[in-house]
Amino acid sequence: MAKSEIEKKIDAGAAKFEESAEQAAAKFEQRYTNWIKNDRFFDGFRNTYGRIILIALASLWLVGGLLFCYNNGSGYIAYAVGVAVSVLAQKLSVRFVFKTGNLEILDEYQEARRNRAYRRAYSWVTSIVTGMVMVILFYAYVNVYFTDGYLPLIPDAFISWHIGAYQVAVVVVFLMGLFSLMPYFAWGFKGEPFRSKDEPNL
């Protein structure tokens, strides 16, 4: 059955709209790729000194904020915002190497360094989590031993350790920040070379 004139116009309009959407998406992807490769506004984040400062500040905020908010019951919003800002700063510092998707942005060196950072981050997170569990176990057993004079199979501290929703939320932000930041920490301190504003992009 032949299509009516209205159906043909609808099909033609839909095809034009789809073509325009694809062209817009291609232009956006090209501009985004060029911005990542050639951006100079955040160069101060990308040199070695900048990366050292960013990593130090992010680490201090992540751990220090956890201790402060957990023990004082305040500052959660500032802590969460600070962690988010730290993650964004790290992304800018390495030109979004961990968020390139299918975009052909990375060269062989960057791709190899990114893959190595992923492996390091996995190893570090495993070690950190294991270390935290061991420290908690050690503290619990030592506390019980000096209080009761013997070592039970499961310390009472684990049974009577109650934390509120606020503390849980703080710990969740910490863990999200830890897992998000670890690949950028594992990327290392070495950054891009210093360049003046007059130097061309590499």
Q: What is the pLDDT of residues 144-189, one digit of tens each?
A: 666 666 666 555 555 555 677 888 899 899 999 999 999 999 998 8
Count other C-beta atoms under 10 Å from residue 138's C-beta: 10
Instruction: Lowest mean pLDDT of 32-41, 85-94, 115-124, 133-142, name the range.
Output: 32-41
- Structure-model confidence comparison of residues 196 and 104, the more confident one: 104
138 and 112 housed in the same domain: yes
- pLDDT category of residue 191 using cuts at 50, 70 and 90: confident
Provide the number of structural domains found in the chain. 2
155: containing domain? 42-187
Max alpha carbon distance in the chain (Å)?
92
8 and 81 housed in the same domain: no
182 and 103 housed in the same domain: yes
Q: Mean pLDDT, the chain, as a whole number?
A: 78
Question: Is 194 inside any structural domain?
Answer: no
Q: What is the DSSP letter of 149?
A: S
| Residue 197 contacts residue 40 (beta carbons within 8 Å) | yes
Q: What is the pLDDT of residue 25?
A: 60
CA–CA gap between residue 101 and residue 186 (Å, rounded): 19
Q: Structure tokens of 44?
A: 């101060």
Q: pTM above 0.75?
A: no
76 and 175 housed in the same domain: yes
